[in-house]
């Protein structure tokens, strides 16, 4: 098996394969890129779900050192530990976390 591998070197790409690689490259330069506007800019902030805020307040008694964790971690934790009956969307948890952090 090793001899078979050594006998068959990788062939050089054909001109057609090289042309396809050239066509699939992105056009332009990195310096031409423009920033995408933040989705929160100009939009009204959604309302904070009081049920999530209450659950976070209870959970923070146990998990006080996790206040800065990701909203997705909190969404899973609130559901798995039984603070909520279903896993909330992380964006709603993020709003609730901002509310709790602001109150602290």
Span 47-99, pLDDT tens digits:
888 999 999 999 999 988 888 899 999 999 999 999 999 999 999 999 999 98
Domain ranges, residue 77: 50-103
Q: How far apart are CA 50 and CA 94, in angstroms?
A: 13
**Residue 24 clears pLDDT 80, i.e. is over it:** yes
Please list, in sequence order, all residues whose beta carbon lies within 8 angstroms of the beta carbon of residue 95, skipping any fewer than 6 positions away. Answer: 45, 46, 47, 48, 49
Domain annotation covers residue 37:
no
Residue 72 lies in a domain: yes
- How far is the C-alpha of 59 from the C-alpha of 83, rounded, in Å? 7
pLDDT at 3 over 80: no
Structural domains in the chain (count): 1
Mean pLDDT, residues 14-35 taken together: 85
- Position 53 scores a pLDDT of 93
On whether residue 75 sits in a domain, the answer given is yes
Name the pTM for this structure.
0.54
């Amino acid at each position: 098996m090793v001899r078979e591998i050594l006998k068959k070197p990788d062939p050089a790409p054909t001109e057609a394969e090289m042309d396809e690689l050239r066509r699939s490259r992105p056009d332009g330069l990195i310096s031409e890129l423009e920033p995408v506007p933040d989705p929160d800019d100009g939009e009204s902030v959604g309302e904070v779900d009081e049920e999530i805020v209450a659950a976070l307040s209870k959970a923070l008694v146990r998990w006080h050192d996790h206040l800065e964790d990701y909203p997705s971690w909190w969404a899973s934790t609130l559901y798995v530990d039984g603070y909520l009956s279903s896993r909330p969307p992380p964006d709603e948890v993020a709003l609730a976390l901002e509310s709790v952090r602001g109150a602290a």
